[in-house]
Amino acid sequence: MVLNKSLRPLWSQSKHVTDIIVASRRALATTTASAEATTEESVSAKEEQKFKLMAGVILSRPPIVTPEPTAFEKAYHHYQSELYKRLSWTFPHWFYFPKGSLAENEYKRVQPQLTEDDPNVLLNRKRDEKQEIVFPPRSVQRETEESARIYAKIVPQPRKTEADEKNDITKLDRKLDRTLYLIVKKEGEFSDWQFPAAPIRKGESLEVASERVLLENGGEDMNVFFVSETPALYYKKFYKEDETYNGAKIFYLKSRIFNGMFKPQRGSQITDYAWVTKEEIESFVSPRYWTIIAPALSLH
Amino acid sequence: MAFVRPTIGLTALQQTSAAAVRSLHSSAPLLRAPVSIVDPVHHRIRYKKTILHPKYQKMLTTPKWDPRSHLFKPCDLHPRRLLKHWENTLAPDLMLANYVHNEVRIRGRKHQEWDGSSPYHVNRPKRAPAGNAEATPDILPRTFENVPNLTAIWVNTFNHGAVVDHQERNIPAMVMLQQITGKKPKPAYSGASVLQWKLRKGRQVGAVVKLTGADMDQFMSTLVEIVLPRVKNFAGIANSSGDKFGNISFGLTPESLYLFPELEGNPDLWTDVVGVNITFVTSAQTDPEARLMLSSFGIPFYGRERFHNVPSLTGAKQTRKKGIVYYENSQE
């Protein structure tokens, strides 16, 4: 796994993550969420240390293409750009093609010759319309592979990929204009869909632990970048039938994947994984988990 | 197009023919052609407010942003790709990366009040900031409201040849600026006379363009994707660049300017190219934040980085200079 640390500012690199965790725990100890009120009361009698401390990763792929504009946006931009062309200056061909040169002759030859009798025509341009410039054809005699490649018409790649058509949620090249999040499903304790997480080992910082989570679950074939050492999300989970722990506190770090693939590892107990958008996550995860993670996810 | 711009008084044919007529009376401007008949053709309407026909009086009160105004300039020609990228990807990441726990406002140097011990202190201008330095803005806690973004790009050129040789040498420099930025530059004049540089006050010494909006996006994309990757021995922008408050500058040599596609397509046309200075104006409060933002747009930086006015930095060497606390990156 390749970790890109160059973009991270110094003050986030050198921050002691343990301080954040302690501060967050103190803050959380004083506040009780209304949704958790009933469970919180039963738990409060027990000791605070009985919560398992865990590190998680919100691994996401940022949008690759711009969102498709709506019909109204398209019409608006079309109106503006047509008006802009209508009001723009006449193309200064005398600047680009020196007087008397072959290039100038060629340029003038291919332009539409407008009649001088038309009062709307001035200097070979209709005054109430945009100027249509016709480029002279290139001489094909000197055509090489290189020039053909350069002058070939640019055709954009389709917005919908093969993975979109097959609705393959394990592929990263789907929904190119949206942020995709990685959620996993495991055997045992984490049988629900959620972001990958694992307990923090003794003496391990939050960042090191979350890097280990990615490595243990997804393997080395990923190029990822941790945005910050500051947790982007905090989730408190309660265990009903567990003698040693009352629950788990999970701190999620935000990270971005640039390239590579998430490949479930053998020892990770992962049964399934998916790259999904914000709306799709709602149908996968539990309602309580959704209410907590939703504000941390991107709309686009 | 539904909207047709008003032509005043005469038909186009009459106006064109009237342009040749010499006239000395007060309605002469009306008889003049509404377009410049010398290339390039500017579709400019000339009128006198006092003798404007009543049916055109409305155009005087129509605001500039209204498409019906004759002064309206269309700007939103297409969706802004870089802005969308910033909104969807960079802004949330930058906010998290710049986040500092329990951050407080850092007060900048301000003009000082007189203590009022003398009656002459009333209405006296305030004292200079401590250290006899310039006043600086406060550094506010980082929130979702002040996530750094690119505000404007200034491209300016100082034409030494025009100073020591001919004023006319400014013309190709201005055309070159217009060519690479897509916007008409404004002339820059000397503010002082310097004998050693043969500089006289009020003479044109170069030109300047301010890019905002879509023009800025276009220039930034060209710079990052086409020009900078091909500049020879380009290590990046020096980390020492910056005005301490989020504005980063660097320069491009004439050789590098030939890498702009507009100049590269026809290099024989451009014989007297001068270098340019480029300034990124950002809404970041400090230089490190501005660098972080610019690097996320794809601009590289090199050299030792110094931090200032960063509140919670542990383990870094601190130095204090003119009231600003500097931190040195101990990791490099």
Between positions 53 and 92 of A, the ones with CB within 8 A of B are 62-63, 66-67, 69, 73, 76-77, 80-84, 86-87, 89-90, 92
Per-residue pLDDT, averaged over A268-287, amounts to: 92
Contacts of B85 in chain A (CB under 8 A): 63, 66
- Which residue, among B207, B173, B203, has the nearest Cα to B188 in the 3D structure? B207
**Which residue does chain B place closest to A128, by CA atoms?**
B4
Q: Number of A:B CB contacts under 8 A?
A: 130
Reply yes or no on whether the pLDDT at A136 is more than 90.
no
Q: What percent of chain B has pLDDT over 70?
A: 79
Reply yes or no on whether the pLDDT at B272 is more than 90.
no
Q: Which of B16, B72, B313 sits opposite A14 (nearest CB)?
A: B313
Task: Say what the pLDDT of residue B3 is.
Answer: 43
Q: Which of A8, A13, A84 sits opposite B77 (nearest CB)?
A: A84
The verdict on B226 touching A (C-beta cutoff 8 Å) is: no
**Which residue does chain A place closest to B17, by CA atoms?**
A119
Distance from CA of A190 to the nearest CA of B (A): 27
Contacts of B101 in chain A (CB under 8 A): 15, 19-20, 23, 230
Span B224-269, pLDDT tens digits: 999 999 999 999 999 999 998 999 999 999 999 999 999 998 888 8
Span B104-120, pLDDT tens digits: 788 888 899 999 999 99
Q: Are residues A59 and A77 in the same domain?
A: no
Judge: B96–A89 Cβ closer than 8 Å, yes or no. no
Distance from CA of B41 to the nearest CA of A (A): 6
Q: Are residues B179 and B295 in the same domain?
A: yes
Q: Are residues A57 and A146 in the same domain?
A: no
Q: Which of B139, B158, B192 is the last residue of a domain?
A: B139
For chain B, count helices (H), then strands (E): 11, 10
Contacts of A120 in chain B (CB under 8 A): 12
With contact defined as beta carbons under 8 Å apart, do B188 and B206 qualify?
A: yes
Does some domain include residue A194? yes
Task: Say what the pLDDT of residue B322 is.
Answer: 58
For A97-221, list the strands marked E by DSSP: 121-122, 125-126, 180-186, 197-199
Cα dist from A95 to A88, A101, A122, A189, B39, whole Å: 16, 12, 19, 73, 11
Reply yes or no on whether the pLDDT at B310 is more than 70.
no
Q: Are residues A182 and A122 in the same domain?
A: no
Does some domain include residue A215? yes
Parent domain of A174: 2-65+161-296
Q: Are residues A204 and A291 in the same domain?
A: yes
**Which residue does chain A place closest to B42, by CA atoms?**
A89
Per-residue pLDDT, averaged over A78-92, amounts to: 88
Instruction: Round to whole Å and give the CA distance between B42 and B73.
Output: 14
User: What CATH number did the domain enclosing A193 receive?
Assistant: 3.90.79.10
Task: Say what the pLDDT of residue B14 is.
Answer: 44
pLDDT band at B204 (very low <50, low <70, confident <90, very high): very high
Q: Are residues B152 and B280 in the same domain?
A: yes
pLDDT band at A12 (very low <50, low <70, confident <90, very high): very low
Q: Which of A34-48, A142-156, A252-266, B27-41 has the lowest mean pLDDT?
A: A34-48
Q: Are residues B153 and B293 in the same domain?
A: yes
Judge: B39–A123 Cβ closer than 8 Å, yes or no. yes
Q: Which of A16, A69, A84 sits opposite B79 (nearest CB)?
A: A69
Reply yes or no on whether the pLDDT at B141 is more than 70.
yes
Q: Are residues B242 and B120 in the same domain?
A: no
With contact defined as beta carbons under 8 Å apart, do B307 and B316 qualify?
A: yes
pLDDT band at A28 (very low <50, low <70, confident <90, very high): very low
Does some domain include residue A156? no
Instruction: Round to whole Å and give the CA distance between B273 and B179.
Output: 12
Task: Say what the pLDDT of residue B91 is.
Answer: 94
Contacts of A88 in chain B (CB under 8 A): none
Judge: B76–A298 Cβ closer than 8 Å, yes or no. no
Q: Are residues A127 and A195 in the same domain?
A: no
- Which residue, among B278, B233, B273, B237, has the nearest Cα to B255 in the 3D structure? B273
pLDDT band at A300 (very low <50, low <70, confident <90, very high): confident
Give per-residue burial for A6-23: e unless 16+ CB within 10 Å, then b.
ebbbbbbebbebeebbee
Q: What percent of chain B has pLDDT over 90?
A: 50
Q: What percent of chain A has pLDDT over 90?
A: 42
Whether the ipTM is more than 0.85: the answer is no
Contacts of A84 in chain B (CB under 8 A): 74, 77
The residue whose two tokens read 């499903």 is A185
Does some domain include residue B59? yes
Q: Which of A103, A124, A151 is the last residue of a domain?
A: A151
Helix A17-30 vs helix A206-218: crossing angle, to nearest 10: 100
Task: Say what the pLDDT of residue B44 is.
Answer: 58
Q: Which of A133, A151, A169 is the last residue of a domain?
A: A151
Q: Are residues A262 and A288 in the same domain?
A: yes
Task: Say what the pLDDT of residue B325 is.
Answer: 57
**Which residue does chain B place closest to A233, by CA atoms?**
B96
Instruction: Round to whole Å and give the CA distance between B39 and B48.
Output: 24
- Tell me what the pLDDT averaged over chain A comes to: 81
Parent domain of B235: 146-305
Q: Are residues B157 and B217 in the same domain?
A: yes
- Tell me what the pLDDT averaged over chain B comes to: 82
Cα dist from A209 to A37, A197, A217, A293, B260, whole Å: 30, 9, 12, 20, 46
Q: Which of A220-229, A247-256, B33-42, B157-166 has the lowest mean pLDDT?
A: B33-42
Span B45-73, pLDDT tens digits: 667 888 888 888 888 888 988 888 878 88
Judge: B102–A227 Cβ closer than 8 Å, yes or no. no
Reply yes or no on whether the pLDDT at B289 is more than 50.
yes
Q: Are residues A125 and A215 in the same domain?
A: no
Q: Are residues A181 and A36 in the same domain?
A: yes
Between positions 281 and 320 of B, the ones with CB within 8 A of A are 288-289, 292, 295-296, 305, 307, 310, 312-316
Judge: B97–A9 Cβ closer than 8 Å, yes or no. yes
Distance from CA of B140 to the nearest CA of A (A): 16
Task: Say what the pLDDT of residue B201 is.
Answer: 93
Give per-residue burial for B194-216: e unless 16+ CB within 10 Å, then b.
eeeeebeeeebbbbbbbbeebbb
Distance from CA of A139 to the nearest CA of B (A): 17
Domain count, chain B: 3
